[in-house]
């Protein structure tokens, strides 16, 4: 399990890549990935290419990221989801809160 954050200051974009299980054990590392970005990004990308599992705590962490990024005015895209991960996000109606590609 690992979380890798890549910040592009001139584009004001933060990409957070999640590897392995996205569950409560990733809470602190995920939170640190976006809270430590300076200056605050305008756009967030959550890359789930290497994510093989997520649970309800991961859904909560995504909601915390959304709140941090500005709520309804936030620009967050979740990319590269497996079919299983995308199914969980769809069942949870996250496509109404995030752009999922």
Task: Pick the closest to residue 54 from 78, 82, 22 (CA basis).
Answer: 22
| Mean pLDDT on 51-59 | 94
Q: Is 33 helix (H, G, I), strand (E, B) or coil?
A: helix
pLDDT digits 0-9 by tens, 63-94: 999 999 999 999 999 999 999 999 999 999 99
Global pTM? 0.93
d(CA 34, CA 76): 12
Q: What pLDDT is attached to residue 79? A: 98
pLDDT for residue 8: 87
In this prediction, residue 67 carries a pLDDT of 97
Q: What is the mean pLDDT of residues 45-61?
A: 96
């Amino acid at each position: 399990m690992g979380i890798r954050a890549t910040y592009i200051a001139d584009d004001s974009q933060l990409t957070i890549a999640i590897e392995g299980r996205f569950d409560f054990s990733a809470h602190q590392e995920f939170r640190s990935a976006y809270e430590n970005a300076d200056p605050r990004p305008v756009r967030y990308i959550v890359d789930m290419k290497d994510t093989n599992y997520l649970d309800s705590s991961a859904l909560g962490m995504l909601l915390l990221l959304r709140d941090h990024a500005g709520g309804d005015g936030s620009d967050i895209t979740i990319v590269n989801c497996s079919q299983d991960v995308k199914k969980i996000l769809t069942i949870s109606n996250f496509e109404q809160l995030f752009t999922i590609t």
